[in-house]
Amino acid sequence: MVTIRKCHPGDQKAIQDLIVRIMNHEFQKERLSFPIEDLDDVCSSYGKLGEAFFVAQEDGRIVGTIGVKQEDERTALMRRLFVDSTYRRKGIGGQLIERAVEFCREVGYDELTFKTTSTMDHAVRMCEKKGFVAKAKLGVGPIYLLKFALFLKEEPILSRGKKAAS
């Protein structure tokens, strides 16, 4: 059974090993677009108020990760969505996204964004299934940098179908 929980300092090596292994084997070109300084001390890098780093753990082994960073007071950025290749297609990525979304709602963010590349197609499809919508697409050589957003708060609607005034 998979458990989703906040990271602990003792998880550092397993988190770093998982992400670096996946980046090196599957996304070598993209690695240049995604600096890895935050992996030097994950719990501290994602330890500010309104931020968190979650791991998926099965049988004592970390098999997935996701981080939430604050972009501004109303927007969070979802980062480091990775699942070990032998644990994919088991719903773990979806559970990680759901936990990140739940955390963002608890904190009170209005919007959750996710930046990725067109080659990270599993992450793109998973985010779209969870309700994220495309906000930006920028061509960089043979790949595209993509930005998705999930709006966490619905605007109140008046009974006649008009939006409430702010």
Domain ranges of the chain: 2-110
Which pLDDT value is given to residue 31? 63
pLDDT of residue 166: 46
Q: What is the pLDDT of residues 141-153, one digit of tens each?
A: 777 788 999 999 8
From first to last of its 166 residues, the chain has per-residue pLDDT tens of 899 999 999 999 999 999 989 888 877 666 666 667 788 899 999 999 999 999 999 999 999 999 999 999 999 999 999 999 999 989 999 999 999 999 999 999 999 999 888 778 788 888 888 999 989 888 877 777 889 999 998 655 554 455 544 4
CATH architecture of 2-110: 3-Layer(aba) Sandwich (3.40)
Please, which residues bridge with residue 3 across strands? Answer: 57
- Whole-model pTM? 0.85
